[in-house]
Chains A and B, each alone.
Chain A
Amino acid sequence: MIEYRTQLHKGKIILHKGFVLTIKILFGLVFLLPFYWALVTSIRPAEDVISDTINLIPTRVDWSNYIRVYTKGGLLKAIKNTVIMTTLGLLLNLSLCSLAGYAFARMKFKGRDVIFRIMMLGMMIPSIVTLLPSLLIIDVLNLYGKWLGVVLPGAAGMFNIFFLRQFFLTLPEELAESARIDGAGEFTIFFRIYLPLVKPALATIAIFTFQGNWNSFLWPYLILPSDQPVIATFVKNMEATGDYGLAMAASMLATIPIVIVFLLFQRYFIKGMSISGIKG
């Protein structure tokens, strides 16, 4: 009797596990299939794209969509522009946000916490509200069509400052005190002692900033001249041709780099998301 019961129980557990696994796989397919289908479409010859049957596995690989995307022009420019924009955005955010995050966490000056709170409130402002006046300010500063105009508004992301401040707060203050006694200056203390200790946090904001810049669409579209696309505007242009082969190839070119970065630095992505939930 007891044996029968445990067997029944085991059976239930296996059934339950099977059910859970099925749901997990089902949702996995929901999340992956669109990418997979876009990828498969992008390496299909045009006549297969509009064929009547669903062929989930491509019968032949054909790069003509990618070649056509390339010959349409603008692709290399878009990649180059996106790389420049992303690199500048990364460098500026890493340096400016770690300076500010450190000061807000560990340096004592009048009005520190008030300034910090006001800046944090800025995170609530929808970007569309500041869009038109920001364009006006870019105009006044004479930054239209310039790289500084593209990257400056996002050069010190509030979230990055908040995130780094939280990290600096967890580090003991005694490190600075003993260094001061040894005669170290504030810059040395920041660069030599504290900054190396927040490397994981820097990695996390680096990948989120990379992602944000790589995907950014509206601002570079408005600031750069129309013959200077970034990858997101390029994808939109390819979509506007109405040719699915071109659109999918361009989408894949925009997607693959960020997925590779994710697979390489997954740990930091996941950590960053987890921490913002728990500490937020």
Chain B
Amino acid sequence: MFKHLKDKTRMQLLGYLFIAPAVIIFILFQLSPIILSIVLSFTNYNGYTFSNINWTGLNNFKYMFQYDEYFFKSLKNMGIYCFAIIPTNIVLSLILASLLSKKTKSNTLFRAIYYIPCLTSAIATAVVWKYLYDPNVGLVNRMLATVGLDPITLSDIGTAKLAIIIVTLWMGLGGNIVMYIAAIQNVPDSLYEAAKIEGANSFQIFRKVTIPLIRPVTVFILTMLLISTPQMFEQVLILTGINSISVDTQTPVLMIYNNITQTGGLASLALVESLVLFALIILVTLITQRVNKETYF
């Protein structure tokens, strides 16, 4: 192809040809939607037709700040989920990974078992857990009852959030454990040996050698969690999506989803809400990157 052209020009054209499909898809479904989101958030777009569309300036934003208390409630819920889930996820993944870092047959088996919850769809996982949390026949509550503890139920404000946090952790740990195992195995043995000769015990070695050396992976995992946890959706939709306390557990994405899909939902408001969520995620990601650069230098 392009045989008649000079080699360099040909190479250029072929390069563009190779990336063209991916770039077109990117423009269609990432770039233009973002631009459209921003533009349409200043209109009264209803999600169906453009026939009665008008510029409404900042009306959607004003409406959100004045009347959209459920959205702010969902942002607060999101904050609680993030504070509960992100540190716990990192600490637990790190501890479990350190227990499985030696290359033995049994560790390979455990690693596989720990990874399995990551495989299934959040929908199927949440459906299973909804059954486990059933106040009468659920396994979790039967087990809690045998040791004399109060049940965790999805219709109770006190425990519904905890229930969602447990499920999210349960399905989020495996991948991070695998990443941490790889990172720990990547630390050169000579460093451990040197520390041993210096007389450090295994806890000291873990704290002073392993943790600093696998820091880049921790930063990566943290960044990914800071992007994904605020987007929690499917498990909340299934577990408490339509029960009496859904307002107290719902996340911003679930609210936006409802505004888009339900009749009577406000499409233009959904756009504003999603932009606010996006801005928050970018802000937090930028701060994390800034903080981590500073500690590097």
- Is A224 an interface residue, CB under 8 A from the partner? no
- Is B257 an interface residue, CB under 8 A from the partner? yes
| A211/B119 contact (C-beta < 8 A), A108-B12, A110-B12, A218-B257 known | yes
Cα–Cα distance between A133 and B40 once the two chains are bound (Å): 9
Give the residue of B113, B217, B261, B275 whose beta carbon is less than 8 angstroms from that of A277.
B217
Cα–Cα distance between A246 and B119 once the two chains are bound (Å): 21
Interface of A is mostly: helix
Please determine whether A129 and B34 come into contact, CB atoms closer than 8 angstroms.
Answer: yes
- Is B152 an interface residue, CB under 8 A from the partner? no
| A124/B285 contact (C-beta < 8 A), A54-B142, A217-B234 known | yes
- Is B86 an interface residue, CB under 8 A from the partner? no
Chain B residues with CB below 8 A from A102, complex form: 18
Please determine whether A130 and B113 come into contact, CB atoms closer than 8 angstroms.
Answer: no
Please determine whether B28 and A137 come into contact, CB atoms closer than 8 angstroms.
Answer: yes
Please determine whether A125 and B30 come into contact, CB atoms closer than 8 angstroms.
Answer: yes
Closest Cβ of chain B: how far from A148's Cβ, in Å? 11
Contacts across chains A and B counted by CB atoms under 8 Å = 268
A59-86: CB near B (< 8 Å → 1, else 0) gives 0000000000000000000000000000
Please determine whether A255 and B182 come into contact, CB atoms closer than 8 angstroms.
Answer: no
B22-53: CB near A (< 8 Å → 1, else 0) gives 11011011111110110010000001000000
- Is B246 an interface residue, CB under 8 A from the partner? no
Chain B residues with CB below 8 A from A216, complex form: 121
- Is A144 an interface residue, CB under 8 A from the partner? no
Q: How large is the interface on A (under 10, 10 to 19, 20 to 34, 35 or more residues)?
A: 35 or more
Please determine whether A277 and B127 come into contact, CB atoms closer than 8 angstroms.
Answer: no
Task: Identify the closest chain A residue to B252 (Cβ).
Answer: A128
Of the candidate stretches A2-10, A196-204, A268-276, the one touching chain B is: A268-276
Please determine whether A132 and B260 come into contact, CB atoms closer than 8 angstroms.
Answer: yes
Chain B residues with CB below 8 A from A104, complex form: 19
B residues in contact (CB < 8 Å) with A: 1, 10-16, 18-19, 21-23, 25-26, 28-34, 36-37, 40, 47, 96, 99-100, 106, 110-117, 119-125, 127-132, 134, 136-137, 139, 142-143, 170, 174-175, 178-183, 186, 216-217, 220-221, 224, 227, 230-231, 233-234, 238, 252-253, 256-257, 260-261, 267, 270-271, 274-275, 277-278, 281-282, 285
7 new A-B contacts at CB < 8 Å, known A134-B33, A217-B234: A49-B137, A99-B18, A103-B19, A109-B13, A158-B26, A259-B120, A278-B217
What are 19 A-B interface contacts by the 8 Å CB criterion?
A27-B110, A37-B139, A100-B21, A100-B22, A100-B23, A119-B26, A122-B31, A126-B253, A129-B277, A132-B40, A133-B32, A155-B25, A215-B120, A217-B234, A250-B124, A262-B112, A277-B178, A277-B180, A278-B183
Closest 7 CB pairs of A and B: A277-B179, A274-B182, A109-B15, A215-B121, A133-B33, A103-B18, A130-B33
A residues in contact (CB < 8 Å) with B: 20, 23-24, 27-28, 30-35, 37-38, 41, 49-50, 54, 96-97, 99-100, 102-104, 107-110, 112, 115, 119, 122, 124-137, 141, 152-153, 155-156, 158, 161, 185-187, 190, 211, 214-218, 222, 231-232, 235-236, 238-239, 244, 247-248, 250-251, 254-255, 258-259, 262-263, 266, 269-270, 273-278, 280
